Structure 1
Amino acid sequence: MLAGDTPIPRDGGGPVFAEPWQAMVFALVVQLQERGVFTAEEWAQALGAEIREAIAAGGCRDGSDYYERWCDALEHLLIAKGLASHDGVDALAASWVRAAEATPHGTPIRLENDPQRRIG
């Protein structure tokens, strides 16, 4: 479970998500924490660092980029633990962009739609 003091936008007591991906990254962080990949303290430190860095760089102070900070914190925490690499994350992100560009409007974007995807 997330640390009790982890700030999460709430409405009526439950988390608020403007987009499905926000709920997905939230759930991913909770699952990784429950499985012992990182502790609540490690997560709080990583997320806090990302929020402080974003604010120092002139980022949103209204919280509208909150879940982007979750993504950044998760990425950096997994890299720090040796479970991901900068190159691997960048390559996967580029693959998703190519897949999105190759996917007809109105159909789900799937990684296998990346025309440069290597199979096997």
Structure 2
Amino acid sequence: MPREPSPDAPVFSVPWHAEVLGIANALMQNGMFSAVEWAETLGAEVRRLGDVGEPDNEETYYRAVLGALEQLVGEKSPDTRGLLLDRVEAWRRAYLNTPHGQPVTLDAAALSSHNDQDHDH
């Protein structure tokens, strides 16, 4: 049964939650995948996360949404999947190259890398 949010709670806790649903909806509206494919893929991802012991909470749900979206984009547009993986890696490098307490920007991906194990955020 869906949880009822408190009356004063924001609809989305963080902006990326709204953004990932907006992207999924736009891709569905533009025919990349159907509503049935979206529902089946999202349901499977929610079940998968539950099966591996992830908590039943909002953050896990939106991780499932993101996972389902990435899966469908990868299936429907392999070239886009490759670009997505490249961008994820660039953000990872940017995070590792950004001093603690500073905002992470994609420009930092091009900086010389720090050792992954020595980085602490």
TM-score, normalising length: structure 1: 0.71
2:32 maps to what in 1? 37
User: Which runs of 5 or more residues in structure 1 are unaligned?
Assistant: 1-6
Q: Please, which of 96, 110, 121 is the counterpart of residue 101 of structure 1?
A: 96
Describe the shift of the 1:62–1:8 C-alpha distance in structure 2 as closer, same or farther (beyond 3 A): closer
Counterpart CA distance in 1 for 2:46 and 2:15 is 21
Secondary structure of residue in 2 paired with 1:65: helix
Following TM superposition, where does structure 1 have runs of at least 4 consecutive aligned residues deviating by more than 4 angstroms?
7-12
Where do residues 13-92 of structure 1 align in structure 2 (5 Å cutoff)? Answer: 16-83=11-78, 84-85=80-81, 88-92=83-87
How far did residue 22 of structure 1 move?
1.1
The structure where helix makes up a greater share of residues is 2
Q: Deviations over 1:41-63 (max 9, x none)?
A: 11101100100111111111234
User: Which runs of 5 or more residues in structure 2 are unaligned?
Assistant: 112-121
For the Cα contact (< 8 Å) 2:41–2:68, is it kept in 1? Answer: yes
Counterpart CA distance in 1 for 2:38 and 2:3 is 13
Counterpart CA distance in 2 for 1:101 and 1:80 is 30
How far did residue 92 of structure 1 move?
2.3
Pairs aligned (count): 107
Secondary structure of residue in 1 paired with 2:110: coil
Describe the shift of the 1:20–1:45 C-alpha distance in structure 2 as closer, same or farther (beyond 3 A): same
Describe the shift of the 1:65–1:9 C-alpha distance in structure 2 as closer, same or farther (beyond 3 A): farther
**How large is the Cα RMSD of the aligned pairs?**
2.8
Rg (Cα) greater in structure: 2
